[in-house]
Amino acid sequence: MQINDKSQTKPYLADSKRYDTMTYKRCGKSGVLLPALSLGLWHNFGFVDSTQNAREILRTAFDLGITHFDLANNYGPPYGSAEENFGQLYKADFKPYRDELFIASKAGYDMWPGPYGNLGSRKYLMASIDQSLKRMDLDYVDIFYHHRPDPDTPLEETMGALADIVRQGKALYVGISNYQAEDAQKASEILKRLNVPFILHQARYSMFDRWVEKDLLHTLEQNGVGCIAFSPLAQGMLTDKYLKGIPKNSRAAKDLTYLDPDTVNSMMEKVQRLNALAEARGQKLSQMALAWILRQPQVASVLIGASSSNQLKENVKALEHLNFTAEELKRIDEIVS
């Protein structure tokens, strides 16, 4: 990747007021504070995307007080490209600010061919962290997650690999993602015995996907672990994008596995009703959806993606109105049920 945007060739100097308005929340019982909104690099940071746009998004995020950048080994496309692009932008812009950043990576999904490029074996995880650090030009990540449960590898092996990654100085903290409450409890017990700082569980959570409320949030609270929510806008459904149908260039219009036209059409009426409630609150639907998740005390941060710096700025405005009345919460429950 070449950084050749002439408008951004001068050295980047972060906004001196970047910490003045951002809200920070504690991760469980750890010493870590995360911005209420964190930047996920799942989309818009691969080799197929604009480097200049990615750079602008990252700069805007940090200037707004977003210190947490969330990556994974397979983010792109192609796999690895988001980390590689981030590494180049980190060297160009953010290296002087390394101690102000909280950088995450993960491993658990398909990454390279053969039997050792997926899931949760010690071999896969140890190779993955080394590859990720090389791509990002980092000595360590602040947190390294196991990205999804492995039904065949003993949990002791997977958690033991995470523990050794911390002991080797390649990560400061560990986390898990997409684990059900029972396995999250087991993972916590193993990591506690290994004396490893387990501080975050990354889980899908939105008004349309509330599975964490059943027992996961309680389990995390009991173990002093924070929750960081991803897909808070239900892949764009909880925005104003689909209020009048499916735009031609939207995610739902593309051949993607995580959002399809049938799903969007089935939720259209609920989206419209939620949008009316958001307007009555003086917010965009996306801002209300983010605020709704942040009301949960166990949630340390919400991961947001952004296709532009302006979109990022709009999402951060959610922090200006986080309170809900009992009537508003009841109305939301009635709409989404």
- How many of the other CB atoms lie within 10 Å of CB of 16? 8
Write down the pLDDT at residue 258.
67
Write down the pLDDT at residue 242.
86
Give the HSE-up count for residue 45: Cα atoms under 13 Å, Cβ half-sphere. 32
pLDDT tens digits for 2-51?
665 555 568 999 999 999 999 999 999 999 999 999 999 999 999 999 99
- Closest alpha carbon to 114 in 103, 105, 123: 123
Write down the pLDDT at residue 244.
79
Residues of the chain where predicted confidence (pLDDT) is lower than 70: 1-9, 247, 249-258
For the chain, the structural domain boundaries read: 21-245+293-319
Instruction: Evaluate whether the domain defined by 21-245+293-319 bears CATH number 3.20.20.100.
Output: yes
CA torsion, points 154, 155, 158, 162, in degrees to nearest 10?
Answer: -160
- Tracing tokens 């030009």 back to the chain, one arrives at 137
pTM of the full predicted structure?
0.95
